[in-house]
Chains A and B, each alone.
Chain A
């Protein structure tokens, strides 16, 4: 059977990169005696797949990975066992059974994520919140997206599903996953531009709140958090 595990990542653990978080959980599964399934062969691997990787420096309340179990287990007890072998900065939130259908696991179903981004050291001028409310009233939001090979200008507005000023921070829901992917850094950069600021001097703290699957259609999206997908 398959299960999905949700965890939080905060504090100094934000400096642990995606691959090392995977290694961490592989060892944690053993410490917590989770009866996880392995691939065959001379060097067997745990059957484990992570949803959208989180960038180094970003904290999160909604990280997910799926595992395959060799036997049915009491998931509540398993969560407790896992939390006994975690470190400060990683908490297991829940564990839910998921469909055995391959299409329903891991990376492939991720469609959107919520973030809270905060500018550090008062990088935004007094009263920026008022001006920021007009950010989404622009017909298009252009930004230069840099990849290893090229630089191209893209309109990111269609990938921003929600945008809201919350106190000193910006809440946003953006396209995430293997089809379309927008990082909060880019949105904040666009906002900085919109506010007429020098982006080089700005630095943000990004926090992921939740990751969603789309259970609706491409036209009419309906987002459900990954632990609610049945």
Chain B
């Protein structure tokens, strides 16, 4: 039997010991003496969150298909165990073998959101490996980062040996092969990194020097090693149908956020909303063949025993075979007591029909994401949802028996005026009015319209990457304007409004567009005790403010400054296919309130066609 890394006494003391024992259904066990490469795959957040992540399941399955690699999982120990591990000097271990990851060949960390950055430091720290890449030697694992945040890896540049820019399915095996050659050769770590730098999509931050102008903006960003490329090309899977996908995903013992089979139906989005980073990063949109998806649905339900299946994509309604797939799922699995969950569907006759079959109308709510209250501002952000469409969809739904509506908005979008803010309340009220148009004897009591807003954060590789943000106080002021207007509406008793805290928004803003200097703040905040910052109960804004002060890094420089179109941005060395020219054009269109059609309606020539796949070539061959 496996020996656990933690003693019974510790496991009985901590909350949810199942987080640390591994042994789950479909987890992969190998003989460590029979593999050449040991890979620790880290999701720097608590187990239940990390286990819900599709990307880690895909890469875990992919890497373990090779006999010479054993990929194991690691999640952030929760604060209770974190304390014990520090006190007792217990090195962080992988779930499968329970072996310390400091002895592994690779520590691969997926970086999904900015507020997990302190947890990355925690993982390295608990693993007992030096935090700085420059302090790690041939004796230590290679630390490699991947995931959406690596499209601006600069705040983390000092802590990683390599960043993998793009989708993981493409060059990992090549890197593994190079690693084996290197390990056999006895060469230096630097020589390995030079080899890695030659692989497309891999970025070795130590091989680049950054110089700054007096005002703090970047003066130059240049390779300092002849193996380093000037531009790093995003890696992408062209054929989504014939690529890696796990038939046997790991099934956690404790309830994870995603306790279901997840079918990824497509990657990318044709819509081109100007605030949306994923919509640009994953261009062009690529679909999976519907027959293959049906096969996966069977196999994954069988191998996991899950009682629910869900579709995953940025905008499911745009999947061209959606109707066929959904009909199939309902016909095949509804009788077997399998729940079918369909997130991100546009509300129309088809989706309402489907939803009435798969969920209890009385208990479910409709979701719209207009993102902005006024049509003017929706044009600025290129959100193709009109008031007419919302009222039409909501009206049909109300007549079908629904009474609850959720609306999602963003505040602080570029060009936003007070009128735009108030329009959020007006839109919510119009939806309620539409409900009360239904004769009293034909409706189910009151309706409930819940509007929520988050604060807009400009992200790299979007047309809004040059936009300014606001102060914390200004954000809250805007939310109050909306809240006040809500209360003044005719149907205010049926309306509810929630808004997010602004502290985290400010920090996310800094790190989303931060340069290498922001890494200092991160380290300082971690030293002062910041951890699990995405968890309300652990987030401590004072620590962060102290860290900015101690390091002399100015929030305003990152968030409140209008960036010049010519400025060298920290992430400019990455090429995602979508060109900077296109983003500039879209930024201008936004200011002109001009809408750009989606990829299927009319190609906007964004540049991603150079990949030669997906929607860019649809129907063209």
Instruction: Please determine whether A87 and B2 come into contact, CB atoms closer than 8 angstroms.
Output: no
Contacts of A56 in B (CB 8 A): 12, 17
Asked if A15 contacts B255 (CB within 8 A), the reply is no
A15 B17 Cβ-Cβ under 8 A: yes
Q: B547-603: which have CB < 8 Å to A? A: none
Q: Is the CB of A27 within 8 A of B18?
A: no
**A29–B17 contact, CB under 8 A?**
no
The answer to the question of B339 belonging to the interface, with a C-beta cut-off of 8 Å to chain A, is yes
- Determine the distance from Cα of A203 to Cα of B360 in the docked complex, in whole angstroms: 49
Q: Is B184 an interface residue (CB 8 A)?
A: no
B302 near A15 with CB under 8 A, answer: no
Q: Which of A16, A31, A46 is within 8 Å of B303, CB to CB?
A: A31
Residues of the B chain whose Cβ atoms lie less than 8 Å from the Cβ of A85: 25, 305
Given A15-B21, A87-B25, A29 and B305 contact (CB-CB distance below 8 Å): yes
Task: Check A104 for interface membership: any CB of B closer than 8 A.
Answer: no
Q: What is the chain B residue whose CB lies nearest that of A12?
A: B21
Q: A155: CB under 8 A from chain B?
A: no
**B18, B307, B339: the one within 8 Å of A16 (CB):** B18
Contact of B18 among A15, A29, A88 (CB under 8 A): A15
Provide the residues of chain B in CB contact with A15, threshold 8 Å. 11-12, 17-18, 21
Q: Per-residue 0/1 for A188-227: is the Cβ within 8 Å of any B Cβ (1 yes, 0 no)?
A: 0000000000000001010000000000000000000000
Instruction: Say yes or no: is A49 at the interface (Cβ < 8 Å to chain B).
Output: no
Docked-complex contact A88 and B23, CB < 8 angstroms: yes
Flag if B254 contacts A20 (CB, 8 Å).
Answer: yes
Rounded to whole angstroms, the CA-CA distance of A56 and B253 in the bound complex is 14
List the B side residues contacting A203 at CB < 8 Å.
9
CB <8 Å contact, B307 and A87: no
- Which among A11, A30, A42, A88 is the interface contact of B307 at CB below 8 angstroms? A30
Rounded to whole Å, the gap between the CB of B261 and the closest CB of chain A is 11
* A27 and B4 contact, CB distance less than 8 A: no
A57 to B359: give the CA distance in the assembly, Å.
38
Chain A positions within 8 Å of B255 at CB level: 20, 23
Of B25, B306, B359, which contacts A42 at CB under 8 A? Answer: B359
Residue A13 lies at the interface, judged by CB distance under 8 Å to chain B: yes
If A15-B17, A56-B17, A88-B2 touch, does A31 touch B305 (CB 8 Å cutoff)? Answer: yes
Tell me if A57 and B12 are in contact (CB < 8 A).
Answer: yes
B98 (CB) vs chain A CBs: closest residue = A12
- Chain B proximity of A204: nearest CB distance (Å): 11
CB distance from B23 to the nearest CB of A (A): 5
Given A16-B253, A26-B307, A42-B360; A31-B302 close (CB under 8 Å): yes
Is the CB of A38 closer than 8 A to any CB of chain B?
yes
Supposing A20-B18, A42-B360, A57-B12 touch, asked if A11 and B305 sit within 8 A by C-beta, the answer is no
* Residue of B whose beta carbon sits closest to that of A203: B9
Q: How far is the CB of A93 from chain B (nearest CB, A)?
A: 18
In the complex, how many residues of chain B place their beta carbon closer than 8 angstroms to a beta carbon of chain A? 30
In the assembled complex, A28 has its CB within 8 A of some CB on chain B: yes
Beyond A44-B337, A56-B12, whether A13 also contacts B305 by CB under 8 A is no
- Report the nearest A residue to B11, measured CB to CB: A15
**A19 and B307 alpha carbons, distance in the complex (Å):** 16
Q: Which residue of B lies closest to A90 (CB)?
A: B23
Q: A27 contacts B306, CB within 8 Å?
A: yes
Within the complex, the shortest CB–CB distance from A54 to chain B, in Å, comes to 14
**A24 contacts partner chain B, Cβ-Cβ < 8 Å:** yes
CA A56 to CA B11, docked complex, whole Å: 10
Q: Mark B245-269, 1 if CB is under 8 A from A, else 0.
A: 0000001011100000000000000
Given known A-B contacts A15-B11, A27-B306, A88 and B1 have beta carbons under 8 A apart: yes
Q: Using Cβ atoms and an 8 Å threshold, which residues of chain A touch B302?
A: 30-31
Cα–Cα, bound, A28→B306 (Å): 9
Interface check A43, CB cutoff 8 A: yes
B9-41: contact bitstring with A at CB < 8 Å (1 yes, 0 no)?
Answer: 101100001100111110000000000000000
Contact B23 A89 (CB under 8 A): yes
| Cα of A30 to Cα of B306 in the assembled complex, Å | 8
Q: Is B71 an interface residue (CB 8 A)?
A: no
Q: Which residue of A lies closest to B4 (CB)?
A: A12
Residues of A within 8 A of B494 (CB): none
A30 touches B301 (CB 8 A): yes
Does B215 belong to the interface (CB within 8 Å)?
no
Q: Give residues in A with beta carbon < 8 Å to B.
A: 11-13, 15-17, 20, 23-24, 26-31, 38, 42-44, 46, 56-57, 85, 87-89, 203, 205
- Offer 11 A-B interface pairs, CB within 8 angstroms, sorted by A: A31-B303, A31-B304, A31-B305, A42-B363, A43-B360, A44-B337, A46-B337, A85-B305, A87-B24, A87-B25, A203-B9
Inter-chain pairs besides A11-B2, A26-B305, A27-B25, 8 sampled, C-beta below 8 Å:
A13-B23, A15-B11, A15-B12, A15-B18, A16-B253, A20-B18, A27-B307, A205-B8
Residues of B within 8 A of A (CB): 1-2, 4, 8-9, 11-12, 17-18, 21-25, 251, 253-255, 301-307, 337, 339, 359-360, 363
